[in-house]
Amino acid sequence: MPKLSPGDNAVPFELPGVDDNNHALADYANKEAIGVVFTCNHCPYARAWEDRLIEIQADFAGRGVQLVAISANDAKKYPDDSFPRMKERSEEKGFNFPYLYDESQEVARAYGAERTPEVFLLDKGGALRYHGAVDDNYDDPAAVKSHYLIDALEAVLGGREPATKETAPVGCTIKWK
């Protein structure tokens, strides 16, 4: 499956969100950076990183950053990942970013996403600047040594290349139909 690599242009998408509105990548064209995060409800890795993503969105919103979460899992085999359950999760956790449903799994395939969570950080021009894990410790936020996404955001917002452009995402496999 082809995968976006740093430097490649983003793949446009339009998907339904848990707010019952459609969300297109183009809707965020005025943002300084967009973090597309493939995630889901059931995966413990995705759940372990949720609070950190909420914190990152809160900390960087004022600087023009938008995270966009997308779940592409097969909800028939994994009912916890259904759209209604996505709505519940978003409300329960207070997601401060859109949570979109890629039911056909086309967007996940187009990005080459394989795991949850898996980050694709885009700059204002739509180029991929960082791909991979949120940070280096899924288990203990206090033990994180490398804040990959935060560091990449700081670099992009500062007009610099991220020192680390790509890491191996750590998490559950995307559950393909």
Partner 1 sequence: MRVSFLYYEECPSHEQALERLSEVMAEEGIFTDVEVFEVETEEQARELRFVGSPTIRVDGQDIDPPGEARYVLACRAYRLEDNRISPLPSREMIRRALRSAAKSPPG
In the chain the first and final C-alpha atoms are separated, in Å, by: 15
Rounded to 5, what percent of the chain is helix, strand, coil? 30, 25, 45
**Binding-site member from 17, 18, 37, 42 for partner 1 (CB under 8 A):** 42
Cα 171 to Cα 76: distance, rounded to the nearest angstrom: 20
> Does residue 175 belong to the site contacting partner 1 (CB under 8 A)?
yes
Beta carbon nearer to partner 1, 9 or 173: 173
> Does residue 170 belong to the site contacting partner 1 (CB under 8 A)?
yes
> Does residue 138 belong to the site contacting partner 1 (CB under 8 A)?
yes
Pairing of strands 99-101, 172-173: unpaired
Beta carbon nearer to partner 1, 66 or 71: 71
> Does residue 176 belong to the site contacting partner 1 (CB under 8 A)?
no
Nearest approach in angstroms of CB 101 to partner 1 is 19
Residue (of 10, 171, 43, 23) closest to 100 by Cα position: 23
**Binding-site member from 38, 45, 97, 120 for partner 1 (CB under 8 A):** 45
Contact 111, 38 (CB under 8 A): yes
Cα 16 to Cα 100: distance, rounded to the nearest angstrom: 6
What's the chain's Rg over C-alpha atoms? 15
**Binding-site member from 18, 100, 153, 172 for partner 1 (CB under 8 A):** 172
Each residue 139-158 as x (binds partner 1 by CB under 8 A) or -, in order, gives x-------------------
Q: Write out the residues near partner 1 by the rule CB under 8 A.
A: 42-45, 47-48, 77-78, 138-139, 170-173, 175
